[in-house]
């Protein structure tokens, strides 16, 4: 039964809080990816009736079959919730009219011009605006620039004359999901939430506290939006710093890995980051540019972000330069050489190749006339500009290659065999830390 059917909107907040407390609130999650699906599961596990929404029928069908396509959510947990009827998915967005809460968990990528692509957020908001009713709590979780919730979502949702903080409630709460993290999952990662009004914040915090271990209310949606950008910009800039340090150490013939390990013995005031072949993934290379885009609009040049982005973006070229020099020392040219890339995922022990620097490195090598192969325990094939490239057998490839490049330091790789079989190895991840061999070159 909709809140608006039997009480005036002034009491909408009280009724919604009651439904959240007694877990009769009907919960919605829009976008069933690595953020939305685990979130839907946590609220279903907490005892709420949960409806997931997605535009992909295949995802909805898989979801309703009780099979979790998100590795961090095991079928043993997921299937019983679906079977019990507490958890379902649909492509029919009109079901929003029967909900008390809805969380937006859709992608916020960058366009080629490094401008934010808000198209997913806009279409999700338009869908909610069509079915919005008094008493609805709307939460945006997608990482975005400060001002998105109040400038972009609020006017659309208030379009039918409903008053925010009285008739409906609007918050921002940054997603902090770290896929594959064995220790921190949706339920035990502290949840920051900020509302358009204090009542919105109060209701948003009450909502999350029903299913998550720790909730951190903040004073506004903009603070909450900026929190996430600080977290990921902090990482991106510090990675840029150590990558620049790697460039310096390479020229000064200093082992950058030894420097960082020794610096990390400092018990305070230092946090180790490590150089690598470049920045991959769908968060760190992207989120900071949401901040720099918005700060430009505010008249401030985000120079740290731009500079770190430049340095991180140059690392694939630096890796190829190291390969060229290493082959040169073996009196070989890149052109015609067989170069085997070991690991193409954007970070260790996962199968995600989005924005992976391995793809840039392979493209640069192919342009120089190298014969490039790859192997990765988690990736069978990748899409390149020339089509699909299938993974090759690691053992035979590293034995045949003129140069092996460790781009992703997966734990599952038998590095002893790699070192024994390879003529020449460039290690961009310090994966061969324990090995001393003349055929190993480090970043």
* Near ligand SAJ in 238-267, by CB under 6 A: 239
98, 178, 255, 400: residue in contact with ligand SAJ (rule CB under 6 A): 178
Nearest to 275 by CA among 250, 301, 305, 306: 250
Q: Is 191 in the site for ligand SAJ (CB under 6 A)?
A: no
Residue 67, CA distances (Å) to 27, 54, 60, 91, 203 in order: 20, 15, 10, 17, 32
Q: Which stretch binds ligand SAJ (CB under 6 A): 91-99, 133-141, 270-278, 335-343?
A: 270-278
Select from 318, 346, 374, 415 the one that contacts ligand SAJ (CB under 6 A).
346
Site string for ligand SAJ, 58-97 (x = CB under 6 A): ----------------------------------------
Cβ at position 183, least distance to ligand SAJ in Å: 11
Helix axes 12-21, 198-209, angle to 10 degrees: 10
From 80-88, 150-158, 217-225, 278-286, give the range in contact with ligand SAJ by CB under 6 A.
278-286
Q: Which of 171, 200, 249, 283 is catalytic?
A: 283
Q: Is 217 in the site for ligand SAJ (CB under 6 A)?
A: no
Site for ligand SAJ in 279-308 (CB under 6 A): 279-281, 283-284
Q: Is 283 known to be catalytic?
A: yes
Kindly give the pairing relationship between strand 101-104 and strand 137-140: parallel
Q: Is 195 helix (H, G, I), strand (E, B) or coil?
A: strand
8 A C-beta contact, residue 425 and residue 419: yes
Does residue 177 interact with ligand SAJ by CB under 6 A? yes
Q: How many residues does the chain have?
A: 443
Residue 231 within binding range of ligand SAJ, rule CB under 6 A: yes
Closest Cα to residue 203, out of 329, 34, 367, 20? Answer: 20
Residue 213, token pair as written in the block: 């271990």
Distance CA 112, CA 109 (A): 10
Tell me the closest approach of the beta carbon of residue 306 to ligand SAJ, in angstroms. 17
10 Å CB burial of residue 31 (0-12, 13-18, 19+) is buried
Least distance to ligand SAJ, CB of residue 341, Å:
14
**Chain contacts with ligand SAJ (rule: CB under 6 A):** 175-178, 231-232, 235, 239, 273-274, 276, 279-281, 283-284, 346-347
Residues involved in catalysis: 283
């Amino acid at each position: 039964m909709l809140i608006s059917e039997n009480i005036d909107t002034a009491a909408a907040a009280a009724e919604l809080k009651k439904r959240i407390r007694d877990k009769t609130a009907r919960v919605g999650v829009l976008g069933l990816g690595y953020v939305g699906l685990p979130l839907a599961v946590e609220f279903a596990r907490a005892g709420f009736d949960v409806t997931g929404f997605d535009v992909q029928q295949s995802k909805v069908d898989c979801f309703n079959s009780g099979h979790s396509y998100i590795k961090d959510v095991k079928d043993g947990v997921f299937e019983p919730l679906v079977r019990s009827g507490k958890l379902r998915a649909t492509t029919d967005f009109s079901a929003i009219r029967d909900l008390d809460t809805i969380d937006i968990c859709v992608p916020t990528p960058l366009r080629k011009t490094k401008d934010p692509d808000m198209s997913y957020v806009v279409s999700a908001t338009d869908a909610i605006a069509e079915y919005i009713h008094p008493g609805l709590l709307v939460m945006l979780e997608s990482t975005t620039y400060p001002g998105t919730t109040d400038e972009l979502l609020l006017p659309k949702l208030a379009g039918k004359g409903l008053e925010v903080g009285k008739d409906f409630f609007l918050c921002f709460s940054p997603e902090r999901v770290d896929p594959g993290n064995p220790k921190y999952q949706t339920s035990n990662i502290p949840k920051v939430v900020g509302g358009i009004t204090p009542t919105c914040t109060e209701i948003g915090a009450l909502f999350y506290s029903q299913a998550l271990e720790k909730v951190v209310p903040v004073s506004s949606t903009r603070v909450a939006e900026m929190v996430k950008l600080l977290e990921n910009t902090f990482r991106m800039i510090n990675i840029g710093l150590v990558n620049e340090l790697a460039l310096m150490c390479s020229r000064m013939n200093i082992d950058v890995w030894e420097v960082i390990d020794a610096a990390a013995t400092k018990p305070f005031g230092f946090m180790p980051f490590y150089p690598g072949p470049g920045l991959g993934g769908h968060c760190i290379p992207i989120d900071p540019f949401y901040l720099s885009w918005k700060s430009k609009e505010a008249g401030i040049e985000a120079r740290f972000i731009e500079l770190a982005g430049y340095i991180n973006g140059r690392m694939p070229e630096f890796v190829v330069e190291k390969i060229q020099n290493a082959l040169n020392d073996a009196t070989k040219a890149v052109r015609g050489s067989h170069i085997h890339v070991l690991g193409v995922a954007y970070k260790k022990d996962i199968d995600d190749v989005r924005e992976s620097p391995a793809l840039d490195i392979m493209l640069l090598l192919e342009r120089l006339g190298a014969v490039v192969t790859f192997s990765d325990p988690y990736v069978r094939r990748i899409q390149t500009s020339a089509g699909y490239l299938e993974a090759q057998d690691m053992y035979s490839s590293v034995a045949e290659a003129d140069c092996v490049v460790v781009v992703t330091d997966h734990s599952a790789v038998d590095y002893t065999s790699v070192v024994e079989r390879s003529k020449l190895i460039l290690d961009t991840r310090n994966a061969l830390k324990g090995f001393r061999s003349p055929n190993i070159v480090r970043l």
